[in-house]
Structures are given as structure tokens and as C-alpha cells.
Amino acid sequence: MRRASIRLASLGLAVAVMGLPATAVAAPTVTVKVKILPILKNLSNPKGGHWPHTGDFLGAPAALETQIRIKGTEYGATGGGVGSPAPIRKVAVWLPKGTGIRTAGFPTCALSVLQNKEPEKCPKGSLASPVGHAPQSSPASCPPAAPLAGGAGEACGVVSFGGTRVREAVKIQAYFAPGGLNFYIEGVTPASIEVPFGGMFSSAGGVFGRKFVTEVPLIETLPGAPAAVAETTTVTIGAAMMKGKKLISLGTIPKKCPKGGFPGKGEIWFGAGAESTWEKVTINTKVPCPKR
């Protein structure tokens, strides 16, 4: 199979896919589940235990697992067949007021390293998510109604070869970047996919304290064919390290929890043409207050 052709979208610029009309698409249905988890001591070894006093406790360092399921038929249908959701193009996430986010002090992996398809050259300690492995037998491990699994980042979706749409599972790995995170999507079969992109943290107002925004590039397997799409994703973000006798973590839970739980908000844009044609889905959620 040909390697996936990857087009990186520049911030604020329109991105067009050869052979696809630049018209708006209907928005898919999105459901989200969020869990607060303890932080692995060794992100490369899920059986290596967790840092003590991390997890679902007020004021504690913690990791965040987000599971997303996307349903839609508005994109990529050929020959009268049923389509799939449109490609994800942009994601914005708001975290509750009081959430601590720290990227300073951690080794970083430059986006250029990932653009060169050399994630193995990322510095030790630059991982921001548990290590996963690109599935070797995607169609069997990626059925449409597969249960979402926790742990390492993964996504299941559809890729195209001419008029044929087939299923594929990919790995999603996060790395520290100055002021944000860089991501690397890797798939093995039926298409070879290696896609880097990055996002940044910023301040937010109201009931929210921090915001994270990332733009996702289109992934084409063949020129002119529909782009790859995701139908389920599971990503766990969280890392920590010892500095002297103090544990430094990427994320820290607020010390106070409002009645009803922590508020959270997400916005996901879907589309394959110019940014003006993208459809936005907004998700509002609340995470139950943790133990004291």
C-alpha cells in the first residue's frame, strides 16, 4: 500500500482536498467520557505502578483519560453506500478553574522531529502519555462498535483506497512541547500513517481556568480520495517526575470542587474543505467531585 500522503494545515489557512467539493458537511453526533486517573511512574511500562498520592483527589497530581465516540454518515459515501463522520480538523478543550497545568521543566520533543517521522529520537522524559503500539491487524481490532479501551492513546476509523473504504486502528502518542503538547498518530495497516501535529495551553475565564487548542491535519491515503476519519478515540494525558523530593506533574486537580462536579467543555470542528465549511460540535460535561 502507498504511504499516507499528509498535508499539514497552517493556522488560520484553508485546506482543500483534491477531488472533494468545498461544501459544508452536516455535524456528526459526539459523546464523551472523562476519567481522572493516577499517574504512571513509567509511561513506557503500564505495569510499573503509579506515583503515590496521585489520581482522583482534590489538589492531587493526576492524569486525564478522554474517550470520544463519533457517529455520522455525512462524509465519504461512494456508489450509494453509507458514509462516515467527516474528518476532525480542530479540537478545543476547557479545563475547570483551579486546574494546574505545567509543561516547564519537562524535556520537550520538537515538532520537527515528529515531522521527520523519528519519534524514537524524542528525548527521554518527553512523553506526556502512556506508550502505545500501532496495531498490526487493524480491521479485526477496529470494528465500528468496538468498546473504548483505556490506557495508551488509540483511535479507530476509516481510510480510503480509491472507492474502497476500510477500517484502521492507529496509535496516538503525546509529547511535551514548550507551552503545550505535540502529538504523533501512527498506523500500520492497511495504510501506513505517520502524522504529527501540536497544540497549546492558554488561560481561560469564567468557570474555566485553562484551555487547550490543537488543529488536526487531513490524512489522505490516495490523492483525491476521501480523507481518513476517526470514529472512536481514547487518549490519556498525564506525566510526572521527581525534582529533589518534590513531584512535578503536568496536571493537578483543583483544590476545590463546585457543587455538581467540575465543569468541562469541548469543541470539535469537522470538515474536509476550507475552514469556513467546517461544522462545530460543542460538548458540555461535568466530572464528579473527587475524594478529599
Q: What is the pLDDT of residues 57-73, one digit of tens each?
A: 999 999 999 999 999 98
Which of 41-55, 79-93, 259-273 has the lowest average pLDDT? 79-93
Peptide bond into 190 cis (omega under 30): yes
Whole-angstrom distance, CA of residue 232 vs CA of residue 144: 8
Give pLDDT, residue 150.
52
Q: How confident is the model at residue 148 (pLDDT cuts 50, 70, 90)?
A: low
**Distance linking the first and last C-alpha atoms of the chain:** 53
Q: How confident is the model at residue 103 (pLDDT cuts 50, 70, 90)?
A: very high
pLDDT above 50: residue 252? yes
pLDDT top residue among 164 and 117: 117
In this prediction, residues 20-47 reach a mean pLDDT of 79
Give pLDDT, residue 120.
94
In this prediction, residues 104-121 reach a mean pLDDT of 96
State percent of the chain over pLDDT 90: 62
Collapsed DSSP state (helix, strand, coil) of residue 275: helix
Asked if residue 270 lies in contact with residue 108, where contact means CB atoms within 8 angstroms, the answer is: no
Give pLDDT, residue 139.
55
The C-alpha cell of 122 is what?
524524542
Asked if residue 87 lies in contact with residue 272, where contact means CB atoms within 8 angstroms, the answer is: yes
Asked if residue 229 lies in contact with residue 165, where contact means CB atoms within 8 angstroms, the answer is: no
pLDDT top residue among 228 and 10: 228
Q: Is 149 exposed, middle or buried (0-12, 13-18, 19+ CB in 10 A)?
A: exposed
Single out the residue of 289, 278, 286, 288 nearest to residue 75, CA to CA. 278
pLDDT above 90: residue 269? yes
φ, ψ of residue 103 to 5 degrees: the values are: -110, -20
Which of 13-27, 35-49, 141-155, 203-217 has the lowest average pLDDT? 13-27
Average pLDDT, the chain: 84
| Element containing residue 67 per DSSP (H, E) | strand 63-71
State percent of the chain over pLDDT 70: 82
pLDDT above 50: residue 154? yes
The C-alpha cell of 249 is what?
506533574
* Domain extent listing, the chain: 5-9+32-287
Q: How confident is the model at residue 23 (pLDDT cuts 50, 70, 90)?
A: very low
Asked if residue 28 lies in contact with residue 281, where contact means CB atoms within 8 angstroms, the answer is: yes
Give pLDDT, residue 216.
95
pLDDT above 80: residue 144? no
